[in-house]
Amino acid sequence: MKLDKLLKHRAIIWLLLAVNIPGTIYGYIWYGNQLVYTAANYPNWLLPFVPDSPTASLFFTLALILLLYPPRTTAGITVRALIEALAVVTSVKYGIWAVSIIAAGGYQGGSIVWQDWMLMTSHAGMAVEALLYARFFVCRKMLPLALLWTLLNDTVDYSYGVYPWLPRVLTDDVPQVRTFTFLLTLVSAAAAWLASKGVHSRRAQ
């Protein structure tokens, strides 16, 4: 397919890296205030569970690098598969989640400023690129582990209150957001499974 050939072109992958690496860094900066607040008010072991979207972007960035420079050892291929599985599930999940939450906040009367439009665009891009590249990944056997990790992240977020800060108008809708988040994790894992279908039969690793 022409699209597959285009997406696998090294120049295109490097272009995506040029976008995703700064985006990932910016994402962690965006979470800076919440990370500082969490460190001051919660046990430090909760900190890795706070910056959900940039961590998803980090997984996808690593997956792109491993697509450019695939490991050859059995252990390396296993690590690659796990990173790719986490990249697809979490990028689809948090990409859709961010767009949905910002839109829901606007629907309930919250203001949507230019930063919100930027975030919706970038997060939609996260989900799209993950689904497009899943066909080239060797992640399918690791998707159950990625699903379990993402469900664990959801459980920690909503059990300890370290979920991403919501628009002010949604602060009384946390139970509904929690339900949506868990359901979206399941949907994202299913989408990742379908998008990666057939990879292992086409590629011998």
Residue 200 has pLDDT above 50, yes or no: no
Residue 201 has pLDDT above 80, yes or no: no
Sequence spans of domains, the chain: 2-202
Alpha carbon 31 to its chain's center: 15
In this structure, are residues 148 and 120 in contact, taking their beta carbons and an 8 Å threshold? no
Per-residue pLDDT tens over the stretch 69-80: 999 999 999 999
What is the pLDDT confidence band of residue 59, given thresholds at 50, 70 and 90?
very high
In this structure, are residues 185 and 150 in contact, taking their beta carbons and an 8 Å threshold? yes
Residue 94 has pLDDT above 60, yes or no: yes
Neighbour-count burial for 38-54, b at 16+ CB within 10 Å, e otherwise: beeeeeeebeebbbbbb
Query: What's the token pair of residue 90?
Result: 């979490």
